[in-house]
Amino acid sequence: MEEKKKILIITYYWPPSGGAGVQRWLKFAKYLPEFGVEPIILTVDPKYASYPQRDESLEKDIRSDLKVFKTKSFEPLNLLSGLFGKKNVPYGGFTNVNKQSFLQTVLRFIRGNFFIPDARIGWNRYAYKKAKEIIKEYNIETVITTSPPHSTQLIGLKLKKNLNINWIADFRDPWTDIYYYKDLLHTGFAKRLDKKKELKVLEGADRVIVVGKSLKEKFYHKVLQDKITVISNGFDEEDFTGIVQKPDVFTITYTGTLSDQYNISTFIEACKELKSKGINFIIRFVGNISDYNLNGFKTAGLFENLEIVTYVPHQKSIEYLFKSSVLLLVIPDFVGNKEILTGKLFEYIATQIPIIGIGPKDGDAAEVISLCKSGEFFDCKNSEEIAKYIIGLRHDWVAGIQNETNHVEIKKLSRKFLTGQVVKLI
């Protein structure tokens, strides 16, 4: 039997860490051996990590024969959590940030100016040392670094410089163009330093992988090199087998983070119109919703229609999707938001339940939904059209009419198919 080609994948987020970012390389690692590639994982020891969420259930996707190496880390976020409480320490998306709070303003300033590119850079020296050992022991030729945290990319940059390995940098999110970047309160010096690090990574990598074409265009203009490949996020078909649950009441479900940057005012207005027509419905949020958006529903008289579920394990979140009539997708409202392709979008599509998208109608997410015939996208200003669309979906739900999707395009979003695309770059 021919020996599998070994590659090293360096990722901060790995089970028992939760969140959408974990699943990308967890799933690739699951299917890579079927393509003749043996992945080796280097990650942080969870005893030292500062995970925003934990989800032990994801460990079921770790192959029994997968080699996983874990190292120590120095985590300032853990120190700050101990001093000021976890609720006061800003985390991804800044849903927990009260911009009127002096303490949180100070903590954001510290995060943005003393830890560049991010507060998990304390892992790098441990990870780099271990990566060198693994590369030597297993004769590794290809290393993949995935971010965020973008500090992980600096490990790849150093390995490339000192060991001249083949280095692939994978970006799940933008770096200095992320929608909440201004909330980090960088000084001019810190911002220039961060951009310099980003450019060094983009220039130094042999290949760059991004999750969508708009992010590819953004990076392409920075490096002016045709070495960027789009490999989107996706869904694992095995996660969706055997789940048959239907809601008793017409239910609109949103999963994940909903911070202040997510403009849902038109959706709230549309829901008010539904309620005025005497329609019985539930609006379910599974994850983190900011107080500002929560108060928007309360002010609109929709509090009794809300069902709030805090963070749940990944498989449980999929069950909530199937207990829905419609799925809500919201793209944050800011300049340059067209490149956003959230991981949950692909799991939404996998359910074949109709999707209401709110955000740029010419963005990447809208294009994927249109291609798969999985729903409709609306801008942030058209509550009447949203209400009309929801009423039409409710009519179909009551009548038992199924949403007709594009199965051929949906199949291309499976994790196994996408793993084949990764193998072509290795």
Q: For the chain, which domains are there?
A: 5-231 (3.40.50.2000), 239-410 (3.40.50.2000)
Spatial distance between the Cα atoms of 367 and 341, rounded to a whole number of angstroms: 10
Mapping DSSP to helix (H, G, I), strand (E, B) and coil, where does residue 282 land?
A: strand
Q: What is the pTM of this model?
A: 0.87
Structure tokens at 307: 């069902």
Spatial distance between the Cα atoms of 94 and 92, rounded to a whole number of angstroms: 5
Residue type, 249: V
Q: Are 255 and 321 within 8 A, CB to CB?
A: yes
Helices (H) and strands (E) in the chain, counts: 15, 13
Residue type, 127: A
Q: Is 139 exposed, middle or buried (0-12, 13-18, 19+ CB in 10 A)?
A: exposed
Spatial distance between the Cα atoms of 371 and 272, rounded to a whole number of angstroms: 30
Structure tokens at 422: 């990764």
**Which residues, other chains included, contact 182 with Cβ-Cβ below 8 Å and sequence gap of 6+?**
none
Pick from 366, 386, 364, 368: which is nearest to 377 by CA?
A: 366
Query: Mind listing the pLDDT tens digit of every residue in the chain (426 residues)?
Result: 567 899 999 999 999 998 888 999 999 999 999 999 999 999 999 999 988 888 999 999 999 999 999 999 998 776 656 554 555 445 554 444 555 676 777 778 888 788 899 989 999 999 999 999 999 999 999 999 999 999 999 999 999 999 999 999 999 999 998 878 888 888 999 999 999 999 999 999 999 999 998 889 889 888 867 899 999 999 999 998 877 778 889 999 999 988 888 899 999 999 999 999 999 999 999 998 989 999 999 999 999 999 999 888 888 999 999 999 999 999 988 777 888 888 899 999 999 999 999 999 999 999 999 999 999 999 878 889 999 999 999 999 999 888 889 999 999 999 999 999 999 998
Spatial distance between the Cα atoms of 392 and 100, rounded to a whole number of angstroms: 41
